[in-house]
Structure 1
């Protein structure tokens, strides 16, 4: 009976996490990216047509849209945005959700069920990995951390790709590491299949290629160092065998990817795919044939070829991500507005958006790991090699974290801590693995350490429950839970989720007309009818048109009133210079819509 208790606790963790995400979903309007992802997924599921949102793989969106097939919905395929435009994802989203007689809130709610299941799958996967290296009782700690951290509770119930990417990447890491530990044919096949699944979640999963190469090199070198008597031919054979099997894993992954793209392009007319591909790639078709340009030309060539065009559509998405990542994005961070990124962005937002109890445990585990590492340097080299050989899962997780952090810090695309979600659960695994080792080293301090860990976990879980349902704008007590907008916005704080809360505020205040500058995907007309006039800074003070109230999303405020970083210019008319005290509103709707009485 005692052996079943961890499973019962695991079940309670999963149920509680799911209820928090479902409840949060009821309270929120569509977030920015959902306006594009939901109609795209419906197009894949019902029409097998991939003309919308090719910059992300199809699986998450397709499965999210599956419940919609059982609803009586009007999808505007007769619209010019579907028939004639290229990748008109935002316009199709607006038409589908808000202007075709459909129940937008019902569509959004049912579309979010699969992402919630995916988030629960990620939590369960963390339990499986953790149980492998620390037993079923200790495995509950990183599992609970994953289930209740605000970052995953927030993004786990949106039709977006970040939590799905984390699931695919960690699933692939787990099975590839299992193959390294036990290189059987079965484990090789599993590693290949899960690698393919990861690539179908998000294109950033391609970073696994580098990780796999590094990891296999590490263990090939360990094998050589521990068997110094081997001949050169034996070593060469080992290397060729290892990398041959790695190529086989990638090939199996490609076999998994192909049917998904074959299915979702089956109803996509070849001539339309060719025209869309040509329009999107633009200048990449011309000029000297570098790696990206050559891939672009191959992509265009294959866009209307019967068996090749699924691969062409995959390559198109990959090229779009390369273009998007190198271009940066306008974002507010720590008092300035950037468009090409800041290397301190991701470390800072992670520290400010991670609950303090978890930060304490992470810092302690990091200190313990560094301290133990320094002590280990004084030991014999063979002992270090033995550690690497017997702790493959930990080495794999740590290596991936280091590679991913290096990639993220160098990226100019600074739009949210959500891009770190693939490594956050791995950090939890390593943290509690280190804490377990430290706790068991000294019997005298063991009870004190366990009591402290229990206190920190209770603090953490209680904190997550108390901030329900406001998980997206959560910042920790270092800056104040309601003050996060002063440090970084966009998907860290304001993604348009509070639109449903504006109409009740207008009713309470008796406001018949308000000027609105809204950052988000929702349709103000759908939620507040004719009570608003669309506004922006350059239109001047609404008071001049006899409108006494102004509502502005905090994301727009921060991007408008704060100084710009070197290299980025903002037109003077977009700075809300006429608005007095923009950071001192009359009221705040939800956490993100600032209301001004003029």
Structure 2
């Protein structure tokens, strides 16, 4: 295939990602988005609302546990539709949950005390669902921007990877990343994981190019992509030790100067820090120092007063003031990891801070990803074992000669070492950098085996092309339910919730629009709903909706309709301390309909 044709194929693949991402979330009825596509997921509410808040105020009190880059990008289109920003008043004092638990609020305003204390959930409600704002357009354009930038970064992976591994490997990588329900599900919502993972991979590719041949352009591109990755998600900090140790192994293997390498890496790290400080400056320049200290007192661990003292010194300088908030965000993330605040369902049981055990991520990897991708992994491993078994020493040298392979192996090992030993387990998306790194290594193996033969008869490229086609067919037939997708090993999308829920299946009400349409189409006058998530149900269901919990109120009158999310349904039925009349399992013979993939509707007999 000619070079121009390969570039054209890359553009086609990226366009497929963009279109599937857009239409799976927005649907096709853009004139009435209230009933079209996917409702806002749990994490999107604070992310969308915070991004617009940053740009408009120059403050970063809200959602500081995630860096602002992706939220900023999501907010860019909102500058053109100019939604109303709720007033933040220091003259009133509101309570946490005033617009969340008691929605709708009496007034769509916000108070200074809640801003300082990072009440991102109430802020999300009063901004997105403000009476003067079009909530559907805010969500649509925020997602549109994220999908567009993700598509652009996917193409950049193809572009830079082709410079180190060639065009065919780069195209195969794009196929593996694009023909993936998992990628499209998380790459088309305003969440951190997908874009931050793309940026981490871009950073490592450019660093590998820099290691292979030290050039100014690759030094600058490494600064850019490392900085963007670290401004996308705090867990991206792991790529700093990954790059250092992976690069050090390569430098030692090539018998190059270790001292020179350490100096250059130090310059790279300093440059990245400067970029982060400048970027954060534009998000903190309007933050009052006394209010920022109050904010730190609220967010920092109380048993480490030295942290507050250190950050209080940093905020005295306008540039290091931004770094102080960046460090605060890092501490918030690691504090959460340490205590593992969660409630997760996995394989028939609910788990809290103790976690579900080391099998959580391996099981989800084998059941949430496309079977075609899993089979390519297995084929690659089999041929790798055969090759290494015959020429172990020479193959090790081949790995050591490739800086990118080294870096990808190191990031896989380091991420797995941290995630498999951690009790925080709230979705396969949290090992997305590992999945992307495996995708690149799989693409490299597939390319190496492209013209080989299986049993001396079948060219392997035809096997690979068949698996690519199978992945595409699976992608089309599972549209638009990419969040809930499970492969055959996991019981398929219909039964995948029996493995794990949360962002793996039921991400806080993504099917509410479909429920609202069903209620409207069937002229349902009243429906009881039990569901967690960011969606303001009354905005979609109006007066027909009544908040409900069977554990407190028992069954309503005969003939009543009850809608419950899969997550709530499982949690209720697995509680051992509840009597039978407080469980939804008593309605299993009165099941009416499954809305989308994540909402069950029953009718009381």
Q: TM-score, normalised by structure 2?
A: 0.88
Question: How far apart are the structure 2 equivalents of 1:9 and 1:520?
Answer: 39
What does residue range 540-559 of structure 1 map to in structure 2 within 5 Å? 540-543=553-556, 548-559=560-571
- Partner residue, 2:14: 14
CA RMSD of aligned residues (A): 2.4
Give yes or no for the alignment of 1:117 onto 2:136. Answer: no
CA 1:305–1:82: 2 relative to 1, 3 Å: farther
- Partner residue, 2:387: 372
Question: How far apart are the structure 2 equivalents of 1:443 and 1:518?
Answer: 51
What does residue range 317-336 of structure 1 map to in structure 2 within 5 Å? 317-328=329-340, 329-336=342-349
How far is the alpha carbon of 1:136 from its aligned partner? 1.8
Question: How far apart are the structure 2 equivalents of 1:447 and 1:138?
Answer: 21
- Contact 2:58 / 2:283 at 8 angstroms: preserved in 1? yes
1:48 aligned to 25, 50, 58, which one?
58
2:112 aligned to 59, 78, 83, which one?
83
- Contact 1:58 / 1:260 at 8 angstroms: preserved in 2? no
CA 1:580–1:385: 2 relative to 1, 3 Å: closer
- Contact 1:416 / 1:492 at 8 angstroms: preserved in 2? yes
Mean Cα deviation higher: 267-276 or 471-480 = 267-276
- Partner residue, 2:101: none
Question: How far apart are the structure 1 equivalents of 2:523 and 2:544?
Answer: 11
- Partner residue, 1:577: 583
How far is the alpha carbon of 1:276 from its aligned partner? 1.4
What does residue range 178-577 of structure 1 map to in structure 2 within 5 Å? 178-224=209-255, 238-286=257-305, 294-303=306-315, 306-328=318-340, 329-339=342-352, 340-341=354-355, 342-377=357-392, 379=393, 383-384=394-395, 386-442=397-453, 445=456, 448-478=459-489, 479-495=491-507, 496-543=509-556, 548-562=560-574, 572=578, 576-577=582-583
Question: How far apart are the structure 1 equivalents of 2:180 and 2:582?
Answer: 36
Question: How far apart are the structure 1 equivalents of 2:457 and 2:407?
Answer: 28
The C-alpha deviation readout for 1:111-157, integer Å capped at 9, x for no partner, is: 11221023213321332354245432343222122112011111111
CA 1:574–1:324: 2 relative to 1, 3 Å: farther
Local SS of the residue matching 1:84: helix
Question: How far apart are the structure 2 equivalents of 1:542 and 1:300?
Answer: 55
Aligned residues: 568
CA 1:583–1:257: 2 relative to 1, 3 Å: farther
Q: TM-score, normalised by structure 1?
A: 0.89
Question: How far apart are the structure 2 equivalents of 1:152 and 1:301?
Answer: 42
The C-alpha deviation readout for 1:163-216, integer Å capped at 9, x for no partner, is: 121122111111111121113444334323322221101000011122123213
How far is the alpha carbon of 1:219 from its aligned partner? 1.9
Local SS of the residue matching 2:426: coil
What does residue range 26-45 of structure 1 map to in structure 2 within 5 Å? 26=26, 27-45=37-55
Question: How far apart are the structure 2 equivalents of 1:367 and 1:443?
Answer: 12
Question: How far apart are the structure 2 equivalents of 1:53 and 1:390?
Answer: 42
1:61 aligned to 71, 78, 97, which one?
71
- Partner residue, 1:137: 168
Question: How far apart are the structure 2 equivalents of 1:426 and 1:50?
Answer: 32
How far is the alpha carbon of 1:363 from its aligned partner? 0.7
Question: How far apart are the structure 2 equivalents of 1:575 and 1:279?
Answer: 42
Question: How far apart are the structure 2 equivalents of 1:299 and 1:67?
Answer: 34
- Partner residue, 2:600: 594
* Runs of 5+ consecutive residues of structure 2 not aligned to the other structure: 27-36, 95-109
- Contact 2:580 / 2:586 at 8 angstroms: preserved in 1? no
- Partner residue, 2:178: 147
How far is the alpha carbon of 1:447 from its aligned partner? 5.2
- Partner residue, 2:106: none
CA 1:332–1:583: 2 relative to 1, 3 Å: farther
How far is the alpha carbon of 1:562 from its aligned partner? 2.5
Question: How far apart are the structure 1 equivalents of 2:301 and 2:546?
Answer: 37
